[in-house]
Structure 1
Amino acid sequence: MDDQTQAPPSSPALAGPALAGPVLAGPVLAGLATRLPPHVWFGVSAVFHYLGPAFAVLLFPHVGVLGMAWLRIATAALIFAPLTRPWRTFARADLPTRLLLIAFGACLAVMNCSFYLALDRLPISLVAAIEFVGTIGIALAGLRSARNLAALGIAVTGTLLLTDVKWASDPVGLFWAFLNGALFVGYIVLGHRIARAGAGDGIAGLGAAMAVAFVVVLPIGLADALPAFFSPPLLVAAIGVGICSSVIPYVCDQLAMARLPRASFALMLSLLPVTATLIGILLLRQIPGPADCLGIALVVGGVALHRPASAG
């Protein structure tokens, strides 16, 4: 028996009108959500997962770390607001669902801030490795077959080869990195529960949660973000980071989570170092060595070997 879905679509807190709201981009996205395999949506998310932070780090000297987090979340919240109408989502939701959306939004806010604070002090490979630790636990919790256990072992081995983790002596940076890793687990668990309501409802829930995230981060990074409002090129760049970091990948995650068991999604996160390596080749001319190539092969092989519950 393979890994089981942790939150069934019939969950009372998420079923029916609890997250009812307009579907992002209407029937076009709804049609693509069902026609395209969930792995395609995950692949798009995986690419933008590293494009966004790569651009954000370049803006740290101009708007500060927390200012960049504020601009990222504000951009996403303002884009989602007219499309998903979060006020209607909250009005129609029952109390358990409202609490779930508030928890998800708070998780998004603190996770994004801690991620950037960690990147400001530690190498991205170390931050990514710490982030991946929690996802291993999620994947293990959902495994019910020797085949999927072997797939996880192969993928983890490949990830370790890719990240080339070197420990750091920065306790503050490590604190933020481990906090980000813990909240990333929360993002997967809470996001999966929302996504199981269905692709359209899940995105409406994401829009509502992003509005909560903006409220949480509003007093934290506003002062640092102010210089962007007096520099149009800087503001445009920050908006681009927000779209790349919190709009495209989060929507794609919802579309993937809606059709993948939680453990399967957690295992596929081992592909993130692969996309980082490929982006390094294409954009930074960073050619991988033999160990990197072996790591890529192992991760891809592990994900290919895995079989979600829906596969029978």
Structure 2
Amino acid sequence: MTQSPMTQPPTPAPDFDRETAVTRRPGGRSIYDTDLPGAWKVGMGINGGLLLSVAARALSAELGEGPTPHPHPFSISAYYLSTSTAGPATVEVDTLRRGRTVSTASASLCQPGEDGTPVERLRALATFGDLAAQDGDIRTSAKPPHLPAPEECFGTEAAPAEFKAQSPLLDRVDLRLDPACVGWAVGAPSNKGEIRGWFRLPEGRDPDPLLLLLAVDILPPVSFDLGVPGWAPTLELTAHVRAKPAPGWLRVVHSTRNFAGGYLEEDAEVWDSTDRLVAQSRQLARVRLPKK
């Protein structure tokens, strides 16, 4: 009698993929169900980059099918309309144009309010394409950041206790900050308006275009380096994904040149392990100034 081989249990999906998963509802409308994870909370709500990744996953599912699939975000702009909480949510996608090289669609992420009425959390407009179809021509004056090796940087375990208590997402990421950019943690910010660090997922998952949308919003608010602690919720964020990242660590730089009236713009660059600039972003954030 021939013995059948033992069935191996399926490999569980990495946390990021599982916690940003979307499922399309049956029917004519392009509505996707998801469950926003409390593990990605920072401050009063779910991290803005994580929300952008969820919306982009629904957009990718919608635009990545058909005779000319466009699975990758090229450009996505999101407006954050209300504070997201842990729990069920929906993403409704409206395809505006399908082209040969790019397609454009909008996405609306909603959650049920206290009375059950849907409350919109995020509205995004995005252009998707196929990064694998790019011709590879690169002409740039951008320079990758110089950082100490990851083992010489400060990991999340060194974060102030009060910051970790408000940021469960620190347990979901492997983040190493340049020692030159963490003076704010001991009351000595540099006032240069820049924070740099290494980023990867602790489960060893290689970066991809969707993870880049998290990376552009993963560092502590750059306002910390201006001596302004506290929550800095994103009002609007526009990200450009320039290439599929190579495996390995990502280097992320956040900077600002203007903080006025309680608002600041924050620019981000993401570089992969081959010194390729793979994503850029700019966001407008409101900084909650401490009460005097």
- Under TM normalisation by the shorter chain, which class is it? under 0.3
Higher RCO structure (Cα 8 Å, ≥6 apart): 1
